[in-house]
Every structure is written in C-alpha cells, then in structure tokens.
C-alpha cells in the first residue's frame, strides 16, 4: 500500500502537468546505487545490453521502484493501481560519446495517437552521480503535448536532468528528450522503466488541497481530469471577448495561441467564439491549433459540429487536434463520434475511436458500436478501438468478446492493445482466459507480456493457473551465466 506521506503535493503535480517531468530522489543509500552501477557494468561487459531483461538480470532494481518516494509519485500520477510496463531498457551513454538527437519515444517501433492525459509515465533512474560532464538526459519542458518541434528551435528550453546517484525523474511518455555528450572516461547509465494507468481518475490521488489551477486552457483541463473530470470554473481573463477574438487574427503565432487559450478559459462565454476557433483549428501553427481544439472542447455541445466537421478533413494533423477537442467535449460529443466511426476515411475512424477512448467512461454508450468495428479493414482503426474498449472499461458483455477476437488479429499492435485492454476489466474478462492463455505463445513479446498482465488482473482460479503454467515454463535464472551454468 502506498505511504500517503510520499504522495505528491499540488505544486509537484502542477509542475509535472506544466513541464512534463518531475525529479525525485530515492531514499536508498549511496552504497545501493554503487552496487547497481557495478552490476550494470558487469552485465554490459559480459553480455551486452539486457534490454527488457534488465530487471531479472539485476533484480535489485525492483527496490528502486518500490521506494516510497517513487511509488508515491507514480500513484499520484497514475492512480494506486498503476502497472509496470513490460518494456524497460538500460540506456548507456558511453565515455566520450557525442550524445543523441531530440526525439519522442516510439512505442517500440509501433505507432498510436498520443494521449495528453497522464496514462503513461517513464522513470529515468541514474545509478551514478550525473553531472553536465558525463552526459545527462536532457528534456524539453512543456513539449509533451506537441508533435512538432518549435518553428524557431532557438526558442526551445533544453534542460539537462542532473542529480546524485539515486535520482529518478518521472517523465510524461511523450516529452521530447535526448542524451547529451559524455565528456568523461566513464560510462553513464540510465534505467528507463515505463508505468501505465489501469483505472481512470475519479478523484485526486495525491495530497490535494487546491481546487482550481490553470496553466492555460490545456493545463486547466488536465488538472481537472486528475480531479475526476469535474469541469473547471471559468477563469476571468484580462480584456473582453471582442479583444481576444481580434488577437486570434494576429500575425504572431504566439499571440494567436494565447488568444485561443484565453477563449478556452472563458467558460460558456466562449461559445460565442466557436466560429473563430473553428478557423483557428486549421492554423499552420500547432500551438494555435491545439489551444483552439481545447477551447472548442471546453465549450462543449455548441462546438461539437465544428470539431466533427474538421475530423473529416484530409489533413492528418488537423484531424488529430480535432480528436483531442472531441475527447474533451465529453458526453456531448459521443453521438457524433459514434457516427464518425462509419466515416469513409480510415484516419477519421481511427481518430474517432481514439477520442472515445480518451474520453473514458463517459463514452460508455459507444462500446457496442466500437465492438462491431473489430472487423474494420484498417489496422490503425483496430488498434485504437482495442485501446478504447479498455480505457472506457464498460459493458464487458460486448467489449470482452470483441477484445478476445482481436487477440488473434493479424496486426501485432492490435493484439497487444487488446490484451492490455482486457486487464482493465479484471474478473469481468474471465471468459477471455483461454484466448489469453493461447496468446502467451504469440511471436510478439508484448502480446505475451500484456496477456500475462491481463491474466494476473483477471485474478480467478483459471486465470491464475494459466499464468502460473506460463511462468513456470518461461522463468529465467538471473544468476546463470556462461561462467556458471549450474
């Protein structure tokens, strides 16, 4: 059970939402981290990078993520039922390296629409003191919601994350980051582990005191989602509606983005700005489009027709931003999104499925229609409907059989999304146990791992037996090496 003394404060959660990362320090002693470093050096020297097997290869790493500071941070961001994802990796920044390029992590070579909501968090753990000289990971604060780099890259903030051994940084999965040059004669290691949300928030999971907070319209909405989806109060902004609408026409993209954000904070008054915001949704600058999408989503029902119309364009970037707005609009957008699941354009159908999933339980009435979409010819659509059924986690009588069928899909990403989705249903997915047991032999490692996780969370005698049979056969001995085989 999480020690409530180590849950995040309002200020810490706000820092994460604003900047996309939060640095913490474990309570483990220096000698512990020194031993982790020594063991890591040994593994790399004798075996190379252990990849996903880094945890069984160095089992002591489990103590890092069980540390109350880190477990409290993870529970605050992801809820108490969070999962450790099966993908983990030890990144080596070799002595004398030139560093790496800026990037967002892919999903191990796969693609999906990225959710701005806190459903996927990474931890960057350093087992050695990390300074500017030995190549820390650098992050680009506040970029977790943006697909593109800034138009003028000279304006970007690039922050090296340094710290003593035992430093661990919680990072939004979609934050831009890179390895910086290692100017020393020693390797720098960073253990990257991933954690995901199993349940949608119904209330604050951190040491919460402050109700309203806003860092623009996006920050305000994400904060309220963490509070359980309660609508934020309108924030009174400087100037009148007409003045802000004029700023939306500015030649300066930053001014347009700020105006769109301000309109999104005006509550019901923003409904008058829907036509102007709909035009801004097609702006050439991503920050303008994204703020406009959030402002339209905050306006709710009056903005849904404009968002749905934009969803049907042939511009993938605009379609994606419209999907974020529709997810935010909540129940008012569900009927239109159900209709969009039948759109001729596969990108529109996939984005509609994503929006319903990102919405969570308010999209419950869409489950039966999503389930019927499991035979869609587009893998992009099937991947997102599988994920959506898990995030919505309603009507298992329709969702579970559809997900069971998707476990045998020809597309591997659809299969592992379906397995992970079944974990959200717990014992309600018991009928899928035979299909999950077969999936434990899938050629894709994430289908296997996610199926094992689903069996663990179904937690019935039949699922536990299937999981135990699998683990007894596949168990791996971390102390067996070529020097010591028995």
> How many whole angstroms separate alpha carbon 443 and alpha carbon 457?
22
**What burial letters (b/e) apply to 142-170, b meaning 16+ CB within 10 Å?**
bbbbbeeebeeeeeeeeeebbbebbbbbb
180, 160 Cβ separation under 8 angstroms: yes
Q: Please give the angle made by the CA atoms of 77, 80 and 85, to the nearest 5 degrees.
A: 75
Q: Please give the angle made by the CA atoms of 81, 87 and 89, to the nearest 5 degrees.
A: 120
User: What is the pTM assigned to this prediction?
Assistant: 0.95
Q: 421: which residues sit within 8 A by CB, 6+ positions away?
A: 386, 387, 389, 390, 391, 399, 403
> How many whole angstroms separate alpha carbon 103 and alpha carbon 140?
10
Q: 14: which residues sit within 8 A by CB, 6+ positions away?
A: 213, 215, 219, 223
Residue 141 — left, alpha, or beta (φ > 0 → left; ψ -120 to 50 → alpha)? beta
Tens place of pLDDT per residue across the chain (486 aa): 778 999 999 999 999 999 999 999 999 999 999 999 999 999 999 999 999 999 999 999 999 999 999 999 999 999 999 999 999 999 999 999 999 999 999 888 888 899 999 999 999 999 999 999 999 999 999 999 999 999 888 889 999 999 999 999 999 999 999 999 999 999 999 999 999 999 999 999 999 998 889 889 999 999 999 999 755 454 554 558 889 999 999 999 999 999 999 999 987 777 889 999 999 999 999 999 999 999 999 999 999 999 999 998 989 999 999 999 999 999 999 999 999 999 999 999 999 999 999 999 999 999 999 999 999 999 999 999 999 999 999 999 999 999 999 999 999 999 999 999 999 999 999 999 999 999 999 999 999 999 999 999 999 999 999 999 999 998 888 778 777 888
Cα 329 to its chain centre, rounded Å, is 20
74 burial class (0-12, 13-18, 19+ CB within 10 angstroms)? buried
Helix (H) or strand (E) holding 17, with range, is helix 10-19
Helices (H), 23-131: 30-47, 54-57, 61-66, 68-78
289, 280 Cβ separation under 8 angstroms: yes
Q: What is the pLDDT of residue 13?
A: 98
Minimal CA–CA distance to 285: which of 262, 260, 309, 303?
Answer: 260
- Give helix then strand counts, H and E, for the chain: 21, 8
Q: What is the pLDDT of residue 230?
A: 56
Q: 254: which residues sit within 8 A by CB, 6+ positions away?
A: 287
Q: What is the pLDDT of residue 270?
A: 76
> How many whole angstroms separate alpha carbon 83 and alpha carbon 419?
14
Q: Which 8-state DSSP code applies to residue 160?
A: E
Structural domains of the chain in order of their starting residue, each with its CATH number: 4-196 (2.60.120.620), 216-430 (1.25.10.10)
Q: Taking each helix axis from N to C terminus, what angle separates 346-359 and 379-392, rounded to the nearest 10 degrees?
A: 10
> How many whole angstroms separate alpha carbon 420 and alpha carbon 444?
14
Q: What is the pLDDT of residue 2?
A: 78
Q: 240: which residues sit within 8 A by CB, 6+ positions away?
A: none
Q: 205: which residues sit within 8 A by CB, 6+ positions away?
A: 7, 75, 76, 77, 78, 79, 80, 226
Q: What is the pLDDT of residue 239?
A: 52
């Amino acid at each position: 059970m999480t020690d409530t003394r180590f849950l995040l404060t309002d200020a810490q959660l706000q820092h994460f939402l604003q900047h996309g990362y939060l640095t913490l320090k474990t309570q483990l002693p220096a000698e512990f981290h020194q031993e982790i470093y020594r063991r890591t050096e040994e593994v790399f020297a004798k075996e190379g990078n252990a990849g996903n097997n880094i945890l069984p290869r160095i089992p002591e790493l489990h103590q890092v993520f069980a540390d109350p500071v880190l477990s409290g941070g993870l529970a605050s961001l992801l809820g108490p039922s969070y999962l450790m994802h099966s993908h983990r990796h030890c990144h080596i920044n070799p002595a004398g390296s030139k560093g790496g390029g800026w990037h967002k992590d892919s999903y191990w070579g796969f693609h999906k629409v990225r959710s701005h909501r806190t459903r996927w968090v990474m931890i960057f753990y350093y087992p050695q003191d990390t300074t500017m000289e030995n190549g820390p990971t650098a992050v680009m604060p506040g970029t977790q919601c943006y697909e593109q780099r800034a138009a003028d890259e000279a304006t970007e903030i690039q922050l090296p994350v340094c710290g003593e051994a035992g430093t661990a940084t919680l990072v939004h999965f979609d934050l831009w980051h890179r390895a910086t040059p290692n100017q020393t004669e020693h390797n720098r290691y960073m253990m990257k582990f991933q954690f995901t949300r199993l349940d949608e928030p119904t209330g604050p999971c951190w040491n919460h005191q402050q109700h309203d907070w806003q860092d623009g319209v996006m920050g305000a909405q994400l904060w309220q989602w963490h509070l359980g989806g309660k609508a934020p109060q309108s924030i009174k902004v400087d100037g009148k509606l007409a003045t802000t609408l004029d700023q939306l026409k500015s030649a300066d993209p930053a001014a347009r983005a700020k105006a769109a954000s301000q309109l999104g904070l005006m509550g019901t008054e923003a409904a008058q700005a829907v036509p102007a915001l709909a035009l801004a949704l097609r702006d050439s600058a991503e920050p303008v489009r994204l703020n406009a999408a959030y402002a339209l989503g905050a306006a709710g029902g009056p903005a849904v027709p404009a968002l749905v119309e934009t969803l049907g364009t042939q511009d993938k970037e605009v379609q994606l931003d419209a999907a974020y707005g529709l997810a935010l609009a909540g129940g008012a957008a569900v009927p239109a999104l159900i209709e969009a699941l039948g759109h001729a354009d596969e990108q529109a159908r996939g984005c509609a499925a994503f929006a319903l999933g990102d919405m969570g339980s308010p999209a419950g009435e869409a489950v039966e229609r999503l389930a019927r979409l499991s035979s869609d010819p587009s893998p992009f659509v099937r991947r997102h409907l599988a994920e959506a059924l898990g995030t919505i986690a309603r009507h298992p009588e329709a969702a579970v059989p559809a997900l069971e069928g998707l476990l045998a899909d020809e597309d591997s990403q659809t299969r592992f999304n379906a397995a992970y989705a079944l974990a959200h249903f717990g014992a309600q997915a018991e009928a899928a146990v035979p299909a999950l047991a077969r999936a434990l032999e899938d050629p894709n490692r994430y289908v296997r791992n996610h199926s094992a996780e689903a069996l663990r969370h179904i937690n019935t005698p039949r699922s536990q037996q299937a999981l135990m049979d699998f683990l007894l056969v596949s168990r791996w001995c971390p102390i067996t090496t070529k020097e010591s085989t028995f």
